[in-house]
Amino acid sequence: DIQMTQSPASLSASLEEIVTITCQASQDIGNWLAWYQQKPGKSPQLLIYGATSLADGVPSRFSGSRSGTQYSLKISRLQVEDPGIYYCLQGYSAPYTFGAGTKLELK
């Protein structure tokens, strides 16, 4: 099974700050990496797909990048509506696996 190691587990940041979350895949998954945001009591919402493509309706302050088997989600200027839990997902091979999640809070 492919393991997705996500870090950090939690972080606290100020408004307008730059935030970066990373996922390390245990093997090559190409660009089969997606990022989701989940708010309390809600279903996950797609932010990034194909490692770097922005999903429809997602603000441009969100971006994804890849370096080998390490993937990053960047929020360029943290806004008040951005706190939540962020997950990465590898869709390269079953069993499809999520990272453990990053809880993002406003400082």
Partner 1 sequence: EVQLVESGGGLVQPGRSLKLSCAASGFTFSDYNMAWVRQAPKKGLEWVATISYDGSSTYYRDSVKGRFTISRDNAKSTLYLQMDSLRSEDTATYYCAREGLMVLFAYWGQGTLVTVSS
Residues in contact with partner 1 by the rule CB under 8 A: 31-32, 34, 36, 38, 43-46, 49-50, 53, 55, 87, 89, 91, 94-101
Which CB atom, from 17 or from 32, has the smaller least distance to partner 1? 32
User: Both tokens of residue 15?
Assistant: 């408004």
Q: Measured from the CB of residue 48, what is the shortest distance to partner 1 in angstroms?
A: 9
Q: Measured from the CB of residue 12, what is the shortest distance to partner 1 in angstroms?
A: 19
* E strands, 1-107, in order: 4-7, 10-13, 19-25, 33-38, 45-49, 53-54, 62-67, 70-75, 84-90, 97-98, 102-106
Which CB atom, from 26 or from 77, has the smaller least distance to partner 1? 26
